[in-house]
Amino acid sequence: MRFISESSQERIPCYRVLDDDGQPLANNFVQVSEDVAVRMYNNMVTLQIMDTIFYEVQRQGRISFYATTIGEEAINIASAAALTMDDVIFPQYREPGPLLWRGFTLQEIANQCFSNKYDNGKGRQMPIHYGSNKHNYFTVASTVATQIPHAVGAAYSIKMDKKDACSITYFGDGGSSEGDFHAALNFAAVMEAPVIFLCRNNGWAISTPTSDQFRSDGVVVKGQAYGVCSIRVDGNDALAIYSAVQAAREMAINEERPVLIEALTYRVGHHSTSDDSTKYRPTNEIEWWRLARDPVARFRKWIERNGWWNDMAESELRNSLRQELLHSIQVAENLEKPPIADIFNDVYDVPPSSLREQEQWVKDTVKNHPLDYPENISA
């Protein structure tokens, strides 16, 4: 009689390419051209500037909500760079980076956050709940982990259609504690679906640390338990993420199998604008990760050593991005809101009378209480 131990004596190793100073540790990574590397860096900086400005915009009361990607820029951009436009993305709510990489503009970002008439979601979603059919990016949903089984279903459909593509879904360590995660991994393994599960293990599910979520060696071992090929990667290392996702994509498509990637990182920002993370974790810990383990600074050092970047390019990029974003926000904020009718359409072919009555009640309420609603709302 022999019982399997609850855990192995040694932790699963973490794949890294660059050390904290941006120096290559080895040559076992997918080579990146100058054009791709510089574009990756530009997008990572764009995320930083977006987060700084939109966070302040929310604090000024101009939008209702925002969540940053601070500390997780490499996961956002490097993973997107390793995919193709045919690959379908099922995000959580901390992945605007793949949209930026695929061509979603800062104006479109601002339109969504301000819920104006050009918002793809017609103003029905909270800020940062982006979505774009054009970019193969399913709309963000706040409900934790519901996107994971959706990605498996999409992957199985891709497989049946014999497309040269896969699906990818992003989620946090907290998402791995949900039943949807376990059902999805088992479903994907049994059906041999070409899907990439990318877990951003940033240490915190809002205020719950990973030590209070599971006793296992992180998330990567859970893939093995379900028969899913898995790897642990340094989530603050853009080259490691790029190499791992590209390899996972090739495995998923060519071998028709799911792959789990656990990207170890740290959520430097608050969970959202509704959270104050200093209430449950020390500020010196946050500052250490922000300064010593910044993925953007690490990647910059690498491209600078290659002669692909310098201080002048850095200054020009940040200034131009800041001006572009401020202009986009000004435009988005002053555009009309979607018509009230958009709250009620797109569900029924012929709306029932009860829904029409509700629509008329809302219109009457806006008309009778104009001071309680934005001036640029169309009744």
User: Which residues are designated catalytic?
Assistant: 56, 142, 271-272
The length of the chain is: 379
User: Is residue 80 a contact partner of residue 244, using CB atoms and an 8 Å limit?
Assistant: no
3-state secondary structure labels for all residues of the chain: CCCCCCCCCCCCCCECCECCCCCECCCCCCCCCHHHHHHHHHHHHHHHHHHHHHHHHHHCCCCCCCCCCCCCHHHHHHHHHCCCCCCEEECCCCCCHHHHHCCCCHHHHHHHHHCCCCCCCCCCCCCCCCCECCCCECCCCCCCCCHHHHHHHHHHHHHHCCCCCCEEEEEECCHHHCHHHHHHHHHHHHHCCCEEEEEEECCEECCEEHHHCCCCCCCHHHHHHCCCEEEEEECCCHHHHHHHHHHHHHHHHHCCCCEEEEEECCCCCCCCCCCCHHHCCCHHHHHHHHHHCCHHHHHHHHHHHCCCCCHHHHHHHHHHHHHHHHHHHHHHHHCCCCCHHHHCCCCCCCCCHHHHHHHHHHHHHHHHCHHHCCCCCCC
What is the spatial distance between Cα 96 and Cα 3, in angstroms, rounded to a whole number? 45
User: Is residue 98 a contact partner of residue 80, using CB atoms and an 8 Å limit?
Assistant: yes
Q: How far, CA to CA in Å, does 61 sit from each of 55, 65, 93, 178, 273?
A: 10, 9, 21, 33, 11
What is the spatial distance between Cα 251 and Cα 257, in angstroms, rounded to a whole number? 7
